[in-house]
Amino acid sequence: MEYFLTEEQLMIKELAARIADEKIAPVALEYDEKGTFPHDIVNVLADSDLCGVYIPEEYGGLGGGILEMAIVVEELSRACGGISLAFAATGLGSFPILLFGNEEQKKKYLPDIASGKKLAAFGLTEANAGSDAAGIQTTATKDGDYYVLNGTKQWITNGSEADTFTVVACTNRSKGARGFTAFIVEKGTPGFSFGKKENKMGIRASNTSELVFENCRIHKDNILAREGMGFIVAMKTLDRTRPGVAAQAVGIAQGALNYALKYSRERVQFNQPISSFQAIQHMMADMATQIEAARALVYQTCKHIDGGAKDISKESAMCKVFASDTAMKVTIDAVQILGGYGYMKEYPVEKMMRDAKITQIYEGTNQIQRNVIALELIKEASKK
């Protein structure tokens, strides 16, 4: 399908696709098995200038937006949904700075992220605050020009591999969600350490760790927006990064279809390739149709956001729900097309199925996204 991408967007897509095919695909299964972080691939991305596709030129990036970020995530995820996250989660950690950082903060933090020298991460979730993010317990107590952070963030992507973190903490419990504040925290700050590293079902090349704050002093200059704006910083960030999760889902699904299609033409049963059976053909037709619909929704949502649209929660949620549900369906069908071989770790589709699952869970579960979509629909209807 022709998405009328600009010449520059097509170049970005081709470059990311080449890295996916030549550098990531050959090592994806190994990284999955070992569950190690792909430093060598991060270096390749840094050398390729792709790390800053969504960062403005004045801060060292290529000046693109959400669409450029999604294009890169999609292509990398086609080869490995876990490895692509080093890039995608850096986007999640950077968007609070892009959206709410002042000039000084942007100049200080964005160039190293754009060059790939540093990775970023986003710390909102805690053990007892997932979907209900307003339940966070990490505190930031004012002490002169500093805020003293105490608490633990759980399941933070890029956790112990990132250098720059956006962390949301409670500065005034009595104000509820209006009592949260977002801080930029640097790795190496005294009182900031990394806790448990998770052993996961999928996206195993991605680092998922705890961030531990014990009397960690952060200067007030590192507040994003202003005190009390932390929840808004988090929600507006997630509205803009969910299309990235959706792009990850589209990439994983496309990778699974590509493999299943190739396999179906090679695998012979009853003296003919299994691609000649209509049952297999129809499965692949549905997979391709669902992927194309998901991609169209993701690209259009990205264009909508990059075009400056303000109310984007519904569209952002829609593309995340649709693309992630598609990735789950498509990868399950890919395993089915490979039969028993699909169940074996020597073949990539069982990994793709495990990788797809997370896209229905993080950056807001699909149940929560459906809540968002429904609430917006009702709100819109009540205005008519």
Query: Which residues inside 133-162 make contact with ligand FAD, applying CB under 6 A?
Result: 155-157
Q: Rank residues 336 and 365 by Cβ distance to ligand FAD and give the closer one.
A: 365
Q: Give the footprint of ligand FAD on residues 50-89 (CB under 6 A).
A: 89
Q: By Cβ distance, which residue is nearest to ligand FAD?
A: 130
77/219 Cα distance (integer angstroms)? 37
Q: Which is nearer to ligand FAD, 54 or 155 (CB)?
A: 155
User: Which residue in the set 163, 287, 364, 372 belongs to the binding site for ligand FAD (CB under 6 A)?
Assistant: 364
Among 124, 252, 283, 352, binds ligand FAD (CB under 6 A): 124
Per CB under 6 A, 300 contacts ligand FAD: no
Written as one string, the DSSP assignment of 37-105 is --HHHHHHHHHHTGGGTTS-GGGTS----HHHHHHHHHHHHHH-TTTHHHHHHHHHHHHHHHHH--HHH
Report helix, strand or coil for 153. strand
Phi, psi (deg, nearest 5) at residue 342? -65, -20
Q: Least distance from C-beta 86 to ligand FAD, angstroms?
A: 12
Convert residues 174-203 into a mask of x (bound to ligand FAD by CB under 6 A) and - (unbound). --------------------------x---
Q: Of 19-27, 48-56, 222-230, 363-371, which segment contacts ligand FAD by CB under 6 A?
A: 363-371
Q: How far apart are CA 192 and CA 43, in angstroms?
A: 26
Asked if 247 and 298 count as a contact pair (C-beta separation under 8 A), the reply is: yes
Closest to ligand FAD by CB, 259 vs 362, is: 362
Which residues are catalytic, by number?
363
Please return the burial class of 194, using the count of CB atoms within 10 Å of its CB with bins 0-12, 13-18 and 19+. middle
Q: How many CA atoms lie within 13 A of 70 on its CB side?
A: 30
Residues near ligand FAD (CB under 6 A):
89, 121-125, 130-131, 155-157, 200, 208, 358, 361-365, 367-368, 371
